[in-house]
């Protein structure tokens, strides 16, 4: 018997979740209040770039396993399992904004007519499942109905650029629930994603909610720590890549997430570190380490701009710089909190002009993140973007940047100067190529 699953929220998490469950034969409906987005999805137009997602959606839409609608009321009576996967953007004070989650909960309470399992997939602070439960119950009380429902925490651990593989072959599935029936249902729908290992981790709801934040905070901490070491290496004349190898060989530390770079961005790490810090303060605890992680990261996003200023001076009027890489990481068009934004704005406010190239994120930059910066020109070809520029700045680890034509780069630039904000794994070896080459963590 195929599970009937509804997913509210057709953004990054909702679409990946819906497409992957549909791929395993479930009947899935993705719901979103954005009618234009829904119409586009029905036409095969995907609002985000994620490798493999467009094809996965197209296949399952055409075979009938995946549908899209703007009307929750049209599908909720036929739903057994309902995922909440709406956004939880960061408020100005750092807290997670739960208005979308609670609006959905209220709507569920107004509409349900039969028992249902509700799963929080959105990244939410501790106590959210209880708020969702209360919101639904309030509406049922107003309707004078007694309907059995349960709210479970099931956080996602998807990496942008690798989300399909992460969902299909998960490291773990965390289920926050003390209800044996709910746990059994979740295990059954996730069972097809496991072949040999049982990777379910069962815990109470609050622990599940906190685990998501703790995981991202740990990753962010490793990144900021290594970036701080990189900055120290530059000052003392050490090579951060050699230091990285030296510490990564310790099995207690490992090599993951200890590559220095221009700071972390995206929709998860910056937001989740802030939300966890806010939660800690709400309970009377001062999260000193989390604040330091953010401070280091905020400074690191300007590290390449500072190198450019050190080389060319504080007044950059008349200078043009080429940026390769706008997305916060490869494999996505996501520019939220991307180092490129901070680098470009810092250079242009000093008079510079920017020629920008990115294989996927150009439209995002034009439409949202750099739309008010009139000193940026966009190019469809990375080499054309170099013409008459005074230096090349690399800010995203796209594979196509790993082995460029250095002769073409040198021929197009006014001066053979490269500033590399990518991690050391992608570093060039330019000692004998006549380039001035500036890296993070090397003097």
CA distance linking residue 175 with residue 154, whole number of Å: 5
Residues 6+ apart with CB under 8 A from 86: 8, 9, 11, 14, 100, 101, 104, 122
- Label residue 267 by pLDDT band (50, 70, 90): confident
| Mean pLDDT on 288-305 | 97
CA distance linking residue 256 with residue 90, whole number of Å: 27
Q: What is the pLDDT of residue 430?
A: 64
| Mean pLDDT on 271-293 | 96
Residue-wise pLDDT for 35-88, tens only, equals 999 999 999 999 999 999 999 999 999 999 999 999 999 999 999 999 999 999
Q: What is the pLDDT of residue 321?
A: 98
Q: What is the pLDDT of residue 2?
A: 80
Residue-wise pLDDT for 135-159, tens only, equals 999 999 999 999 999 999 999 999 9
pTM, rounded to two decimals: 0.92
| Mean pLDDT on 406-432 | 84
pLDDT at residue 198 greater than cutoff 80? no
Q: What percent of the chain has pLDDT over 90?
A: 92
Active site residues: 268
Helices 269-282 and 205-236: crossing angle in degrees, nearest 10, is 120
* Two tokens, residue 56: 């996965």
pLDDT at residue 249 greater than cutoff 70? yes
pLDDT at residue 208 greater than cutoff 90? yes
Tokens 């467009």 locate to 54
CA distance linking residue 299 with residue 263, whole number of Å: 8
| Mean pLDDT on 83-112 | 95
Task: Please say whether the beta carbons of 329 and 266 come within 8 A.
Answer: yes
Q: Which long-range contacts (CB under 8 A, 24 or more apart) does 286-293 make?
A: 289/221, 290/217, 290/221, 292/224, 293/217, 293/220, 293/221, 293/224
Distances (CA, A) of 360 to 54, 326, 332, 380: 14, 9, 7, 10
SS3 sequence, the chain? CCCEEEEECCCHHHHHHHHHHHHCCCEEEEECCCHHHHHHHHCCCCCCCCCCHHHHHHHHHHCCCEEEECCHHHCHHHCCEEEECCCCCECCCCCECCHHHHHHHHHHHHHCCCCEEEEECCCCCCCHHHHHHHHHHHHHHHHCCCCCEEEEECCCCCCCCCHHHHHHCCCCEEEECCCHHHHHHHHHHHHHHCCCCCCEEEECHHHHHHHHHHHHHHHHHHHHHHHHHHHHHHHHCCCHHHHHHHHHCCCCCCCCCCCCCCCCCCCCHHHHHHHHHHHHHHCCCCCHHHHHHHHHHHHHCCHHHHHHHHHHCCCCCCCEEEEECCCCCCCCCCCCCCHHHHHHHHHHCCCCEEEEECCCCHHHHHHHHCCCCCCEEECCCCCHHHCCCCEEEECCCCHHHCCCCHHHHHHHCCCCEEEECCCHHHCCCCCCCCCEEEECCCC
């Amino acid at each position: 018997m195929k599970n009937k699953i509804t997913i509210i929220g057709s953004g990054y998490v909702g679409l990946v979740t819906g497409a992957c469950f549909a791929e395993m034969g479930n009947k899935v409906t993705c719901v979103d209040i954005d009618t234009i987005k829904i119409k586009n999805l029905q036409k095969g137009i995907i609002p985000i770039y994620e490798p493999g997602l467009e094809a996965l959606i197209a296949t399952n839409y055409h075979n009938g396993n995946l549908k899209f609608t703007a009307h929750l009321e049209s599908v909720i009576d036929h739903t057994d399992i309902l995922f909440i996967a709406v956004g939880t953007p960061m408020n100005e004070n750092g807290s997670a904004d739960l208005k979308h989650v609670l609006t959905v909960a209220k709507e569920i309470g107004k509409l349900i007519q039969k028992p249902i399992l509700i799963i929080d997939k959105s990244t939410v602070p501790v106590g959210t499942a209880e708020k969702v439960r209360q919101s639904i119950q309030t509406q049922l009380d107003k309707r004078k109905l007694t309907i059995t429902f349960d709210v479970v925490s099931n956080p996602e651990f998807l990496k942008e650029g690798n989300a399909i593989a992460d969902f299909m072959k998960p490291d773990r599935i965390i289920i926050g629930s003390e209800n044996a029936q709910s746990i059994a249902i979740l295990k059954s729908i996730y069972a097809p994603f496991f072949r040999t290992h049982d990777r379910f981790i069962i815990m109470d709801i609050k622990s599940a909610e906190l685990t998501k934040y703790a995981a991202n905070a740990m990753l962010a901490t490793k990144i900021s720590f290594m970036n701080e070491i990189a900055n120290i290496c530059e000052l003392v004349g050490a090579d951060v890549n050699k230091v990285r190898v030296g510490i990564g060989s310790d099995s207690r530390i490992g090599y993951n997430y200890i590559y220095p770079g221009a700071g972390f961005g995206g929709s998860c790490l910056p937001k989740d570190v802030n939300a966890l810090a806010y939660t800690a303060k709400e309970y009377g605890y001062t999260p000193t380490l989390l604040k330091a992680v953010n401070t280091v990261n905020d400074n690191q996003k300007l590290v390449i701009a500072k190198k450019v200023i050190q080389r060319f001076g504080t007044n950059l009027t008349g200078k043009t710089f080429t940026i390769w890489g706008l997305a916060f990481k490869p494999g996505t068009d996501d520019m939220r909190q991307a180092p490129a934004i901070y680098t470009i704005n810092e250079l242009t406010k000093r008079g510079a002009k920017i020629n920008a190239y990115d294989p996927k994120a150009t439209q995002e930059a034009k439409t949202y993140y750099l739309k008010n910066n009139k000193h940026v020109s966009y190019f469809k070809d990375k080499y054309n973007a170099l013409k008459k520029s005074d230096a090349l700045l690399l800010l995203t680890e796209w594979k196509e940047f790993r082995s460029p034509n250095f002769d073409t780069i040198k021929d197009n630039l006014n001066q053979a100067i490269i500033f590399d904000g990518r991690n050391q794994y992608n570093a060039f070896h330019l000692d004998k190529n006549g380039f001035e080459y500036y890296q993070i963590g090397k003097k």
